[in-house]
Amino acid sequence: MRREKPDSWWIGAEQNINCELSVSTKEATGLLYIVMIRVFPFHYKLTKTSTYHIKILKQRAASVTNSRFKMAKSKFEYVKTFEQDDSCLQNCWIVVRVDGKAFHKFADVHGFVKPNDLRALNLMNRAATLVMEEFRDICLAYGQSDEYSFVLRKDTIFYNRRASKLMTTINSLFTSAYVFNWTSYFGPIQLQYPPAFDGRVVLYPTDKNLRDYLSWRQADVHVNNLYNTAFWGLVLKKGLSNTQAEERLRGTVAADKNELLFTEFGLNYNNESIMYRKGTILLRKLCKHPVDGKLRQVVVPFFSDMIAEAFWKEHPEVLGMKSLQIHVKQHEVNNEHSTNMETNKSDDINKSSNRTEELSKTSIRPADIPK
């Protein structure tokens, strides 16, 4: 006959009986049997009667445990009602924007190149790519300086569209990815302290609103980058103090700054790196795998003008929420970027091109292949 071993349920039963039960004769007998089995495990064998009494005791223990659990649930459960429903309005584009906290200080402490640090921007792009790979309902991401905007499909049901869930998860993944990949971009330069990013959720009810939002962010990078290029040129190349440079630029418009850059530094602003001037747009595309030739979903960086209509015609899947477009073959992607390089003569696009290649190798998931 099988020997009954007291296990975890027994501990519960013991406690319950000690505390509050009026024990029936059958249950008491069951208890006695268990005690006997525990004390004389090699001498006492279970009989039909003892098994029956133990079964009764077990049932009783289970019912007490259940009723206690229910009691606890009903007594304290009400606190859940204090939580606010923050689910985003249906049929709206959801934008989550993260922005570096006090990055003017972070940039100084870590010796970022002025006005643009390629390592820092590429690290931002890497972190954002990881976020897009994780959250498949993000159809576009746009980054510049220390900020990144993530656009979720307007029909997303991800996390039941709960704003705080979406924002905090995207923000924390972005931040940890930034720290996780720091060494890949900054090599021996160690992080001096943990960076933080703030986050916000904004809803855009129409396609136009969304496009205007993205245009606003892209116009922002244009204004800031033109100013910063002129400002740091005056400070670093002409030896002006910060205040003198500020005074020199006060009241100038874009054309004046372009003129200043050309006359003072022989610099044509349009030849500056396109990533610095336009920011980085991340889109999902289907790319042919360089090894097996199969189509895979890949997050691809673009450096286009989102303010222009042409961008949205070239990438209709974003606003139209259509299935992903096939992107040019890998060697054509490289050609595309090398063409950019020729016009921009900048090292960053070259690296970005390598990055595209790297991306297509690393961010491949067989599950992504559309049926």
Taking CA 125 as the corner, what is the angle to CA 349 and CA 331, rounded to the nearest 5 degrees? 45
Asked if residue 272 binds ligand GTP (CB under 6 A), the reply is no
List of residues 6+ apart from 317 with CB closer than 8 A:
139, 284, 323, 324, 325
Asked if residue 182 binds ligand GTP (CB under 6 A), the reply is no
Tokens representing 59 are: 């049932």
Asked if residue 146 binds ligand GTP (CB under 6 A), the reply is yes
Asked if residue 114 binds ligand GTP (CB under 6 A), the reply is yes
The nearest distance, CB 100 to ligand GTP, in angstroms, is: 5
- Over its C-alpha atoms, the chain yields an Rg (Å, rounded) of 32
Tokens representing 354 are: 């390598």
Specify the residue for token string 């299935």: 323
Asked if residue 120 binds ligand GTP (CB under 6 A), the reply is yes
- Select the span of 29-37, 144-152, 271-279, 299-307 touching Mg ion (CB under 5 A): 144-152
Asked if residue 116 binds ligand GTP (CB under 6 A), the reply is yes
The sheet that has 93-100: what strands, in order across it?
Answer: 197-204, 93-100, 147-152, 138-144, 280-288, 295-302
The rounded distance, in Å, linking the Cα atoms of 9 and 32 is: 16
Binder among 10, 33, 93, 103 for Mg ion (CB under 5 A): 103
Tokens representing 45 are: 């064998």
- At 51, give phi and psi (nearest 5°): -60, -40
Dihedral sign computed on CA atoms, order 358, 363, 366, 368: negative
Q: How many residues bind Mg ion (CB under 5 A)?
A: 4
Measured from the CB atom, the residue of 102 and 321 that comes closer to ligand GTP is 102
Measured from the CB atom, the residue of 229 and 360 that comes closer to ligand GTP is 229
Longest dimension (CA), the chain: 104
The nearest distance, CB 182 to Mg ion, in angstroms, is: 17
Binder among 44, 68, 99, 267 for ligand GTP (CB under 6 A): 99
- Select the span of 93-101, 255-263, 288-296, 307-315 touching Mg ion (CB under 5 A): 93-101
- Select the span of 98-106, 170-178, 298-306, 358-366 touching ligand GTP (CB under 6 A): 98-106
- Select the span of 104-112, 135-143, 243-251, 313-321 touching ligand GTP (CB under 6 A): 104-112
Q: Of 228, 229, 225, which is closest to residue 217 (Cα–Cα)?
A: 225
Q: Of 17, 22, 5, which is closest to residue 62 (Cα–Cα)?
A: 17
Measured from the CB atom, the residue of 45 and 104 that comes closer to ligand GTP is 104
Measured from the CB atom, the residue of 196 and 267 that comes closer to Mg ion is 196
Residues 327-366 that bind ligand GTP (CB under 6 A): none
- At 326, give phi and psi (nearest 5°): -80, 130
Measured from the CB atom, the residue of 225 and 258 that comes closer to ligand GTP is 225
Binder among 100, 143, 233, 301 for ligand GTP (CB under 6 A): 100
Asked if residue 112 binds ligand GTP (CB under 6 A), the reply is yes
Residues 216-235 that bind ligand GTP (CB under 6 A): none
Measured from the CB atom, the residue of 54 and 235 that comes closer to ligand GTP is 235
Asked if residue 117 binds ligand GTP (CB under 6 A), the reply is yes
- At 163, give phi and psi (nearest 5°): -55, -50
- At 287, give phi and psi (nearest 5°): -125, 150
How far is C-alpha 174 from the geometric centre of its chain's CA atoms? Answer: 4
Tokens representing 162 are: 């709960």
Asked if residue 182 binds Mg ion (CB under 5 A), the reply is no
- Select the span of 60-68, 102-110, 281-289, 347-355 touching Mg ion (CB under 5 A): 102-110
The rounded distance, in Å, linking the Cα atoms of 8 and 24 is: 22
Tokens representing 170 are: 């995207």
Binding site for Mg ion (CB under 5 A): 99-100, 103, 146
Binding site for ligand GTP (CB under 6 A): 99-104, 107, 112-114, 116-117, 120-121, 145-146
